[in-house]
Amino acid sequence: MPSLKAKKVVANLLKKGFINDESHHHYYEFWHNGKLISRTYTSHGGEDINDHLISAMRKQCNMEKDFFVEFVKCTK
C-alpha cells in the first residue's frame, strides 16, 4: 500500500471534527457530547505515513484499515 501524506491526513482529520492537542506528539482527538471517542497522533517530523503507521492509527481510531484510508482521504 502506498504511503499517505501526513499534512493531508492531518488537514482531513481536522476537517472531520478532530481537534489538535499538542504535547510530545501531535495528538488528534474526536469528542462527542463531552466524551472522547477517538484519539490518534503523528510525529513532529511530518514525514509520510507508511503502512505500519496507518495500521497503528486505524487501531487507535477503531476503524478497519480500508475505511480509515478512505476516511483520511475524504472519500468516506
The predicted-structure confidence for 60-76, as pLDDT tens digits, reads as follows 999 999 999 999 988 86
Banded pLDDT at 1 (limits 50, 70, 90)? low
Q: Which domain does 16 fall in, by range?
A: 6-69
**What pLDDT, on a 0 to 100 scale, did the predictor assign at position 41?**
86
Instruction: Report the C-alpha gap between 57 and 76 in whole angstroms.
Output: 16
Percent of the chain with pLDDT over 70: 92
Domain count, the chain: 1
Q: Is the pTM of this model over 0.85?
A: no
pLDDT tens, residue by residue, 19-39? 998 777 788 999 999 999 999
**What pLDDT, on a 0 to 100 scale, did the predictor assign at position 55?**
93
Would you say residue 65 lies in a domain? yes
Q: What CATH number does residue 17 fall under?
A: 3.30.920
Instruction: Report the C-alpha gap between 21 and 39 in whole angstroms.
Output: 10
Would you say residue 58 lies in a domain? yes
Grid cell for residue 17: 471534527
Instruction: Report the C-alpha gap between 54 and 31 in whole angstroms.
Output: 21
Would you say residue 43 lies in a domain? yes
What are the CA-CA distances from residue 53 to residues 3, 32, 34 (Å)?
A: 9, 25, 28
State phi, psi for 48 to the nearest 5 degrees.
-60, 150
